[in-house]
């Protein structure tokens, strides 16, 4: 598990979904997470949304968070 990759995955989520109104709750979940389990759940929900908005970014986020959230 590479914490740099997990951080990169979160940044990709923020950059890609930051302006997406339907993703505001997901962004907040990750941003205000009080532990790893909340970040994992947020990344999983973010990838579900990214599959719709930008599948290429969803794939990268899955790869970067592999072993952590996936």
State pLDDT tens for residues 38-68. Answer: 999 999 999 999 999 999 999 999 999 999 9
Q: Return the closest-CA partner of residue 6 out of 23, 25, 30.
A: 30
Mean pLDDT score across all residues of the chain: 95
What integer is the mean pLDDT of 26-36? Answer: 93
pLDDT for res 1: 76
pLDDT of residue 12: 97
Q: Which residues of 11-32 are buried (b: 16+ CB within 10 A; e: fewer)?
A: ebbeebbeeeeebeebbebbee
């Amino acid at each position: 598990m590479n914490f740099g990759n997990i951080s990169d995955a979160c940044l990709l989520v923020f950059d890609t979904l930051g302006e997406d109104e339907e993703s505001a709750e997901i962004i907040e979940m990750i941003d205000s997470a009080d532990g790893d389990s909340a970040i994992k759940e947020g990344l999983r929900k973010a990838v579900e949304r990214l599959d719709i908005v930008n599948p290429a970014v969803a794939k990268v986020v899955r790869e970067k968070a592999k072993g952590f959230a996936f």
